[in-house]
Amino acid sequence: MLAQWRRLFQDRCVRGSPILRTLLTALCLALAALPLWRITHARKTPVTDALVTTAAEMPVIVPFQLLLSAPAKHVELLDEADKVLWESSAAVESMVEATWQRMPRNVQIQVQWASAGAPRYFAKLRLEPPGTETLTHIFDASGDMDDLWELP
């Protein structure tokens, strides 16, 4: 008798054709898989011929200030590839304010002093790159200066 009740209960709970249930299950799985497929596969974007200028390619004007402890005959500021960032055209007394057209990774300073009277010479270079904090470095030498500053 228990077996008859169990068969009646199962017959009432499971309705419809097994083929129809299989098709509905397959449809539900396909509908669930579609968004997952779209998320995991990258879309192909069209290639444009327009020139795009990145931030690294845009010119940056970097103001700087150079303070010297004594008058100098000649001053040069070079980058990492030994290209001249700034060069004095005449003797420099004590302070120079100018700009660079780009921000280098390293700055090399070369100073030929006008007289050899002081035991130590100093040069203070202050950079004010746009969008970042001011960078300052003090160079010192006992004679003509040839020093390198690796920027952060």
Which residue ranges make up each domain of the chain? 2-40, 62-150
* Environment class of 72 (CB within 10 Å of its CB; exposed 0-12, middle 13-18, buried 19+): buried
What are the DSSP calls for 54-67, one per residue?
Answer: -TTTS---EEEEEE
Lowest-pLDDT choice from 35-44, 72-81, 92-101, 143-152: 35-44
Indicate the SS3 state at residue 95.
Answer: strand
Q: How far apart are CA 148 and CA 141, in angstroms?
A: 12
> pTM value?
0.60
Question: Distance between CA 152 and CA 136 in Å, rounded?
Answer: 11
Q: What is the pLDDT of residues 2-41, one digit of tens each?
A: 676 666 656 555 567 788 888 889 999 999 888 888 888 8
Q: For the segment 35-65, what is each residue's pLDDT rounded down to a tens digit?
A: 888 888 877 766 655 555 555 556 788 999 9
| Contact status, residue 69 vs residue 123, Cβ threshold 8 Å | yes
Residue 66 has what pLDDT? 95
pLDDT at position 55: 52
In this model, does residue 125 exceed pLDDT 80? yes
- Longest Cα–Cα distance of the chain, Å, equals 121
